[in-house]
Amino acid sequence: MVDESCGQIYTIEGVAAAILMVTTTYLVLSTTIILTPGETHITDMQLEQLGYDALAVLDTPSEYGTQSRLSDYIQNNKKIEFNQYLLQLLNTRTDLPYDTLSYNASVFYRNSTDSLNYYSFSGSQYYRQNSVKVTRWVGIPDAVSAVSDMRSGDQTVLLEVLIWRD
Amino acid sequence: MAGLNDQAQWIVLLGLIISLGIFFLAIILNQSILVGQTTAESVLEFPKSDIQDLRSEVRFLAWDTTISAGDRTNCTKDIVFLALERKSSVINITPGTSSTNWIIHYNNGVTEYNEQIIYWDF
């Protein structure tokens, strides 16, 4: 019998290299799929927290017993002030340039006939960009005079804000 | 096979070991991205801000001295109604008195939260 057992390490190397290449290809592909633009959970999470924080800042009175800014904006229908202050909270960074977040806000309320109604509060037109929705309960001491079917007296309305990055 | 050059086997073996090292680093990278994704998903699913917001509004109702009892009932009705219609969560609020505590129940189908508010922390 002719001993032809030399070169065995080449065979081992060949098999090992094949396994390595196939597995590495699989790993690279699966990693890349996770990083596609459709996978936006992490940025969504950051955007949602930023939105809730901005609304919480707006809805915190500057001193005990006074009305919060957000409550005042909604009750007196001050859309321009709301727009200005919310955009400032959302887009300010530690350095220029400003961030490019946009929003679209609506106010939902229970009307005088016990059903749901809403009106647009302010913000940019929403064209189905990838957005997150944040909400805030706002207590207002009396009905918004610009809205016809609101009950009078104290009430709690729901402010819904869609936020997206242009 | 007799003419095959079987020198430099040692460096070939080293090459194999190094490529195995790179392979395991790739596995770690792959796993770390998955971990970031599942963490973000579970954070998004948990209604932390919803519950904080509800407590904040209930505190506003409880502490507001100018609001009448009828208006307060209307406000809690607003919250229950709007939460069901717009946030698909079931909320129940039992107003407290001078001797009893406020009680809130919250359930959005995934997370349930019940509290008898003894200490109004922020």
Are residues B49 and A49, on separate chains, in Cβ contact within 8 Å? yes
Q: Measure the CA–CA gap between A134 and B64, rounded to whole angstroms.
A: 25
H or E, element range at B113: strand B112-117
Least confident of A40-54, A61-75, A93-107, B27-41: B27-41
Looking at the fold, whether B77 and B24 belong to one and the same domain comes out as no
pTM of this structure: 0.75
Looking at the fold, whether B55 and B107 belong to one and the same domain comes out as yes
The alpha-carbon gap from B91 to the nearest alpha carbon of chain A, in Å, equals 13
Determine the structural domain holding residue B21 and report its residue range.
Answer: 8-45
**Average of per-residue pLDDT across B77-84:** 93
Chain A residues touching residue B95 (CB < 8 angstroms):
none
**Average of per-residue pLDDT across A47-59:** 94
Name the pLDDT band for B2 (thresholds 50, 70, 90): low
Q: Measure the CA–CA gap between B90 and B84, rounded to whole angstroms.
A: 6
Q: Measure the CA–CA gap between A101 and A146, rounded to whole angstroms.
A: 28
Both structure tokens of B12: 């070939």
Looking at the fold, whether B41 and B52 belong to one and the same domain comes out as no
Coil, strand or helix: which one is A63? coil
The pLDDT value recorded for residue A39 is: 57
Are residues A41 and B23, on separate chains, in Cβ contact within 8 Å? no
Name the pLDDT band for A38 (thresholds 50, 70, 90): very low
Name the pLDDT band for A160 (thresholds 50, 70, 90): very high
Place of tokens 């607003």: B78
Locate the chain B residue with the closest alpha carbon to A136. Answer: B53
**Average of per-residue pLDDT across B46-54:** 92
Average model confidence (pLDDT) for chain B?
A: 87
Coil, strand or helix: which one is B117? strand
Looking at the fold, whether B58 and B38 belong to one and the same domain comes out as no
pLDDT at A46 over 60: yes
Looking at the fold, whether B70 and B92 belong to one and the same domain comes out as yes
In a domain, B1, yes or no: no
The pLDDT value recorded for residue B122 is: 65
Looking at the fold, whether B69 and B37 belong to one and the same domain comes out as no
Looking at the fold, whether B60 and B101 belong to one and the same domain comes out as yes
Q: Measure the CA–CA gap between B75 and A154, rounded to whole angstroms.
A: 7
In B93-122, the residues whose Cβ lies within 8 Å of chain A are none
According to DSSP, residue A159 is labeled E
Nearest to B4 among A6, A41, A49 (CB): A6
Looking at the fold, whether B36 and B72 belong to one and the same domain comes out as no
Looking at the fold, whether B59 and B15 belong to one and the same domain comes out as no
| Contact B21/A at CB under 8 A | no
The pLDDT value recorded for residue A37 is: 47
Looking at the fold, whether B33 and B66 belong to one and the same domain comes out as no
Looking at the fold, whether B55 and B113 belong to one and the same domain comes out as yes
Looking at the fold, whether B28 and B76 belong to one and the same domain comes out as no
Chain A residues touching residue B87 (CB < 8 angstroms):
135, 158
Residues of B12-30 as b/e, b for ≥16 C-beta within 10 angstroms? eeeebeeeeeeeeebeeee
Please write the tens of the pLDDT for every residue from A119-142.
Answer: 999 889 998 888 999 999 999 988
